[in-house]
Amino acid sequence: MSDLNLWNVTKAVLIPQITFAISAWWGFVGVAHKNRLQSIVKKAKRYGFLPPLYDNLEDLTLSSDEKLFFSVRYNPYHVLHQLLPPAKNPNYSLRERSHNLTISNDISVVKRRNFIYRMLFTDIY
C-alpha cells in the first residue's frame, strides 16, 4: 500500500476512534491520559501510518472545538445553542472580543471543564 493510501486509511479509522466526542470529554481528562492518547498519534507518525507533519492531538482538539463552538454560536437551531449564556451588548467598543457572551465568575470546577465554558474562556485576554 502506498504511503498516501496508508495515511488516508489511518486518518479514516484510527483518528476518529481517538477523537470521538473529544470536545465533550477533553476538559475532564487528566494530563497523564492526554499524554497516553498523544503517544498513539506519535507512534502512528513514527511507524509511517501518518505523515510526519500531521497535527498532534492538542491541535486536532482545538480545531474541532473551534468548529463546534462556531456552529453552536451562529446556529440558533443547534442542540447546544440553548446552553450558551446570554449575549451582552456594551455601549462601548474598546477592542475586538472573541465573543459577546456573558461570562460568570461563580462557576464550579466541574462546570469550568465543560466544553461551553472552556470555549468561552479561550482567548479572553
Q: pLDDT (tens digit, 9 = 90+) per residue, 27-39?
A: 889 999 999 999 9
Task: Give the H or E element holding residue 72.
Answer: helix 57-74
Check if the beta carbon of residue 114 is closer than 8 Å to that of residue 108.
no
Q: Domain locations in the chain?
A: 3-120
Would you place residue 2 in the very low, low, confident or very high pLDDT band (cuts 50, 70, 90)?
confident
CA distances from 101 to 54, 83, 91, 95 (A): 34, 11, 14, 15
Percentage of the chain beyond pLDDT 70 is 81
Q: Which residues contact 112 (CB under 8 A, 6 or more apart)?
A: 27, 118, 121
Instruction: Output the average pLDDT for the chain.
Output: 83
CB-count burial class (<10 Å; 0-12, 13-18, 19+) for 72 = buried
pLDDT at 38: 95
The pTM of the full predicted model, rounded to 2 decimals, is 0.72
pLDDT (tens digit per residue) in 75-104: 999 988 888 887 777 676 666 666 666 666
